[in-house]
Chain A
């Protein structure tokens, strides 16, 4: 759509505009860690950083989310009523989101909002009310491998606006009507600026030296991959903890529980993780993924085989590298996928 220029000394004014009727969030440095927080000025937000330690998926899919409340009293006028939780009351803007994370939301859209039956209103409500202003990665990390899984440090998928830092100013490109509206007041970009942004993109892509190959995975059958011998080694050191899952921008499994307190209660969904034996435990006592190996395999198979098979080749990984960074036993997804692809 349009390309505009956002001078760094105009940032505060721009942010002020964003804040007017919306909640504005951006990555900030907190206790030595990059995390998301509400901001109102440019100084509060980070402009040079690799990425937030955890994915911002909880803006749309909170780790703990109340779905409804209920009261189980017959004969009480307030009883036997299930009360929906209020929708998001104010639109919001996520500023400086990385392209990989934005791409992840689009992957999740395919899962949360599929058709009339599979149409997660909790996810959808927040997605519809949120504007995503991306910040292109000029300095990808050694653990980044977005370019090998269909994303890009300067990727635009899922974004309303992409900002590219070209020094004392930012190139702002809009991709949606929402984005277009935001940039309306900004001056037009120059060709030089555009060129510079393009060069930065190339440089960033070049910095991504590691990656995964999935061609053989795509060619193999599910059962071939499932029965491949590599899993015995992959699972050895795995703790079956939830770190990879919880930091991952595309992991989206949840567990729904009713929490009651006397006669009242709430239905709540919490992140769940396929590494846990409890995840697949049946009420009968049978567990279809009874071993550590089953569970370790599931996560990789899901992202790199099951999703692609079901979603027209889309990979369930955006290459952000968080799991590589955080896994307590250094199970490196790149190595695992490349072994799968061997």
Chain B
């Protein structure tokens, strides 16, 4: 499909290269903001690395479970075209009007005809290594990538197909009931016209085969981390049973070796830190312990534990409590014992040589850019850094060297899922921002299936019992549950699915609903918290009101937690299905109120994040109000010298502030506080209290970017001696020239001042880099300066590791200390002395400092009043709590409110800016619509029962209830959030909550106890 655009107008389409979670998020954001998206994936299905993970840290959410709804959403989005088995060949033209040439491999199975029954794969005689399971088991030459794949369509692997290689077979063609096998298909050349390109081609896990001393390719029980993910995965080769590949026995003792292919220039040219391995190793160790039957002994060998993200440090401490052993040592060799167990040789911290045997070894492999991807980038004119990751500046974190081409995810540097998702939204923002003029030009309005009127029909309940692979079926007798469901009153149709959430099952379900005339749907599967929206979409597609649905949670709250009691778990599943059927039978179609959206935004906080968010919003054409409580803009950045990449922060900030002051769409409210917030998504009313008095601002969305503060230390003589200063003070002193490196003879840095302590059990993330960068600055300007850094773990994650390396090369001395033996600072005759125990030397050292820089913690503002006004939560450390730690990193559970910057968690500038752009992208998904539909789960009040006593309107947390002219309560659906507090407070039974009515709950109680 090509669209000719006029010279001036950009093309309202964006190509996203890659199919992982970053590509998916970028695609969804762009598609939701009015652009046509071509999602170009090399393999036969989207999902990327995340689809292969078992769990995700730090919450240990099931990776596939949280990803699957996104996959399906992507697969069925009317504005997203997924091109699988396709690769970009070239990009011509310029930003706003690119012509992209693609090659798409033949699938040999028709996407339209394939029903994903699997007959072809079953019949196919050719077995090959299953790359999805990292070669731990086999697949056929006719195959589907994984059970929840999108699109869920089979493929013939030409290179391994007997017919293609030897000229005859075609067993699949004969068996296919749908006539979908098409050997005559040929590879296709496509040319697409797009306004922007986002490269999100992801990473490749480092292959440790060349790493001779770890003998990965020789010893069966040495596995990579990704292999281990597959071993742990319920859909993996051993269905989640923890066994070692060598003999399929359950290991009792496992070692994780960190930094395999990271921070290593001897075995590989990877001087960077891969950022994610520490956390995934902890996660794997903890999950493995849970999977294990005999109390697994889990040991992690590491150099520095880099648990720098939100809640990571708690996970690390939690793992220690759960008995995971952490050994600070680099294992230097592995040998295999006769029973295929492994002997590890390493030196302890104290230098003592040790030998220890393990049943299994997991290599925590790093992340690297696939050379093919690197080549593609070069072909596209996208510049790479020395690390082969795509080069981007701190101030434009998702822009590449080619205008109009953006990057996000692990291709832009090793990173975890939330950061990838955040960058994906940022890239969508950056790409979409240039195409504003063409927004909506290429997308068609979503087709709305007319809703069938079910009034007067008796319940015809369809029950879909999911096996979830073996997640449910491995414990619960799914067949028995299905048979039982068929006997329940009102049930008209029953079916069992391997994966009810897969797209083909969803499509089939829609068909079944239509064919069977079903009017209520019960899915017995996983949690409504993750999957209800997905199934509700299917109801909509089938012309059924989406509220005629209930989910019986027979996985998370049954099969998974009663794994050893299959009979009781089956009984429970039956009960849960009976309860769901009873509730579903009573459900009524609900209508959703329509809301108009005010296309104006408010950004709270005028720091770097807020400024970026505000300018991006105005660039996209939305009037924006910026509220800053200070009299000037800039926030913490006013005190920062350079970024980790060495860019000048002050110059950038000045430019940014000038832009903000010149921007006509941006209304600045300085020296202003927020007094009151009312309203809801699309229609907020915020009262500001500024120098000129109070002002009421109406806006459709808000971005909270209120930042954080550097903690004022109370230790190490801070405040008692002018030579003791914090990072921001040091930067400021260097900026003003108050301090010059030449005058510093001895500089000491102490890390983790107030971070990673019981009272503040988190890592402040930026201090290690800041220290290293300051140390380098001192050394570069005064090579004679003695610079010593006291640290606990150096957390120069990702490419910051290069700075750490450079600092050491420049002679900066790094000395580790323990939490229980912190350095001591004293004043003796005006001399500032730092004494500490050197763990390597094993003795006390004393240093004299002209400068003692304390890497003080970054602390939240714990802004409870703001949180309450916007009805958004704070976590236990006072950071704003996102809607979902992994997949909704800048969203709040409250619609229309988003966050960016340090208010979320300490982070470096490029992340803060990316997050600001991401918040804008998410906000634009709201602001770019003229109207939106509210939830139907709202309270309503029966005027015949209301006595007007006022209890409900007194307690409604959203002021959604007020008395009418007769003094009777009326609920406003636009304000109501559906909590139901009014319902439970009313003595008269006048309010009820749609979807959770008294009748519904009562039916569930009755079905539960009287079945």
Contacts and interface: CB of A to CB of B under 8 A. Distances in A.
Chain A–chain B contact at Cβ < 8 A: yes
Nearest to B1011: A262
Contacts of B1010: 260-262
A261 B1011 CA distance: 8
Interface in B988-1011: 1010-1011
B404 to A, nearest CB: 65
Contacts of A261: 1010
Contacts, number: 5
Nearest to A264: B1010
5 contacts: A260-B1010, A261-B1010, A262-B1010, A262-B1011, A285-B944
Nearest to B944: A285
Nearest to A285: B944
Contacts of A260: 1010
Interface string B267-281: 000000000000000
A285 B1011 CA distance: 32
Interface in A241-267: 260-262
Contacts of B1011: 262
A20 B565 CA distance: 59
A285 B944 CA distance: 10
Q: Top 3 closest A-B pairs, CB basis? A: A262-B1010, A261-B1010, A262-B1011
Interface centre among A260, A261, A262, A285 (most CB of B within 10 A): A262
Interface in B281-337: none
Nearest to A260: B1010
A155 to B, nearest CB: 47
Contacts of A262: 1010-1011
B1003 to A, nearest CB: 12
Contacts of B944: 285
A98 B944 CA distance: 46
Interface of B: 944, 1010-1011
A262 B1009 CA distance: 8
A285 to B, nearest CB: 8
B943 to A, nearest CB: 12
A70 B1011 CA distance: 16
A262 B1003 CA distance: 11
A285 B943 CA distance: 13
A285 B945 CA distance: 12
A260 B489 CA distance: 14
Nearest to A74: B487
A16 B944 CA distance: 59
Nearest to A75: B487
Nearest to B1010: A262
Interface in A275-293: 285
Nearest to A261: B1010
A262 B487 CA distance: 13
Nearest to B489: A72
A231 to B, nearest CB: 25
Interface string A275-319: 000000000010000000000000000000000000000000000
A234 to B, nearest CB: 25
Nearest to A262: B1010
A260 B1002 CA distance: 14
A107 to B, nearest CB: 38
Contacts of A285: 944
Nearest to B1007: A262
A13 B1010 CA distance: 51
A285 B942 CA distance: 13
A79 to B, nearest CB: 12
B352 to A, nearest CB: 69
A78 to B, nearest CB: 15
Nearest to B578: A262
B480 to A, nearest CB: 17
B10 to A, nearest CB: 60
A180 to B, nearest CB: 52
A261 B1010 CA distance: 6
B507 to A, nearest CB: 34
B581 to A, nearest CB: 14
A285 B1010 CA distance: 30
B348 to A, nearest CB: 66
A258 B16 CA distance: 63
A258 B944 CA distance: 26
B945 to A, nearest CB: 12
A339 to B, nearest CB: 33
B50 to A, nearest CB: 45
A262 B1011 CA distance: 5
A202 B196 CA distance: 113
B274 to A, nearest CB: 58
A166 B783 CA distance: 131
A261 B1008 CA distance: 11
A340 to B, nearest CB: 33
B689 to A, nearest CB: 51
A260 B1011 CA distance: 11
Interface string A69-93: 0000000000000000000000000
Interface in A211-249: none
A261 B1006 CA distance: 8
A258 B187 CA distance: 69
B478 to A, nearest CB: 23
A261 B944 CA distance: 30
A277 to B, nearest CB: 12
A74 to B, nearest CB: 9
A260 B582 CA distance: 14
A260 B1003 CA distance: 12
B383 to A, nearest CB: 71
B319 to A, nearest CB: 47
Interface in A43-98: none
A262 B582 CA distance: 12
A37 B456 CA distance: 52
A259 B1004 CA distance: 17
A77 to B, nearest CB: 16
Interface string A172-210: 000000000000000000000000000000000000000
A261 B1007 CA distance: 9
Interface string A86-124: 000000000000000000000000000000000000000
A171 B1010 CA distance: 57
A286 to B, nearest CB: 12
A103 B1010 CA distance: 45
A55 to B, nearest CB: 33
A193 to B, nearest CB: 62
B484 to A, nearest CB: 13
B459 to A, nearest CB: 16
A280 to B, nearest CB: 16
Interface string A136-150: 000000000000000
B981 to A, nearest CB: 28
B538 to A, nearest CB: 31
